[in-house]
Homo-oligomer: A and B are copies of this chain.
Amino acid sequence: MSARSLDGTATATRIRAELADRIARFTAAAGRPPALGIVLAGDDPASQIYVSNKLRTAGEAGCRAELFRLPADASLDDTLAVVARLNADEAFDGILVQSPLPKGMGRDAEQRVFDAVSPAKDVDGFHAQNVGLLVQKRARLVACTPSGVMQLLAREGIALAGKRAVVIGRSDIVGKPMALLLLHQDATVTICHSRTPDVAALASEADILVAAVGRPAYVTPAYVKPGATVIDVGINRVDDAALVANWYPEGHPRRLQFEKKRTLVIGDVYPAVWAVAGAVTPVPGGVGPLTIAMLLANTVTAAEARAGLLSAD
């Protein structure tokens, strides 16, 4: 357990403190706080927790955050209607549609709803327009998880220029934007994925390794160059005692935690990686808090941009 812990909770707290000043200035200038509308359809328990965290964080920071609920049997059109109303409502700066949407809305429902959000209010950074601007290195609203990781790397003083970065995972919301952001900071970036034959060999060349696989403890020490920075994006819930016993020795606080609750949240990074890496983001308390902080940052940025308070960049 020699690696430095990259404390996402502390960094997120600092980010929120810095935003407080921008929020106060916006509120004074605009006569109202930055406002975020969150659309939640159905009653997925995890979604409800995520949404209440987002609402609380925004509210505590001095933003207005309002929840728009739809029943589990709501139609795609119902959802699109709420988004259209929030797009048109001048009093809202940011719109977030919590995924997943209920399956009854159809297979491409999420894409259609994300496409419907006005790019100027797209605090998730999922709209094609904002994704394209990211490629062109001129985005204001960037997906929250990868931009949170960039904040953490910058504030922890981890050099990127000229370094090898390997991103495992190629999702639209983490892997691909993460690779672009690292590239724009002059890292040499490789994207590995399910079709890569020998991920461990490539990953172990990385100075910065980002695991966004969604498989508990996928990244073993064999994937990690000694001293590397390892960013664990995974949030996996595990209920299997045998797995937990593999990862943590008897008496380890995490194992005790599991034995009490019979469930544990674990990242994509195998615990033994801490003995090899130079720095690791813990799960929980690493990337997760940063994601919510960046949602807040995007809401403030959207509000400032809409009010003409941002200088051209």
A interface list, Cβ under 8 A from B = 111, 127-136, 161-162, 170, 172, 176, 180, 183, 186, 188-193, 195-197, 202
Contacts and interface: CB of A to CB of B under 8 A. Distances in A.
Contacts of A161: 195
A203 to B, nearest CB: 11
Contacts of A131: 131-132, 135-136
B196 A162 contact: yes
A6 to B, nearest CB: 23
A124 to B, nearest CB: 13
Given A128-B132, A136-B172, A188-B196, 7 more contacts: A128-B129, A128-B133, A128-B136, A131-B131, A131-B135, A162-B197, A176-B180
A170 B135 CA distance: 10
Contact of A189 (B128, B133, B162, B191): B191
A147 to B, nearest CB: 15
Contacts of A130: 128, 132
27 contacts: A128-B128, A128-B130, A128-B132, A128-B133, A128-B135, A129-B129, A129-B132, A130-B132, A131-B132, A131-B135, A132-B132, A132-B133, A132-B135, A135-B135, A136-B172, A161-B195, A162-B195, A162-B197, A176-B180, A176-B183, A183-B191, A183-B193, A186-B193, A188-B192, A188-B193, A189-B190, A189-B191
Contacts of A170: 183
A211 to B, nearest CB: 16
A191 B195 CA distance: 18
A218 to B, nearest CB: 16
Closest 9 CB pairs of A and B: A128-B132, A131-B132, A132-B132, A186-B195, A190-B190, A188-B196, A128-B133, A131-B135, A162-B195
A153 to B, nearest CB: 16
B172 A135 contact: yes
A127 B111 CA distance: 20
Most buried by B among A162, A176, A190, A196: A190
A301 B189 CA distance: 32
A116 to B, nearest CB: 14
A162 B202 CA distance: 13
Nearest to A166: B190
Nearest to A177: B135
Nearest to A195: B186
A111 to B, nearest CB: 8
B176 A202 contact: no
A195 B135 CA distance: 18
Contacts of A132: 127-135
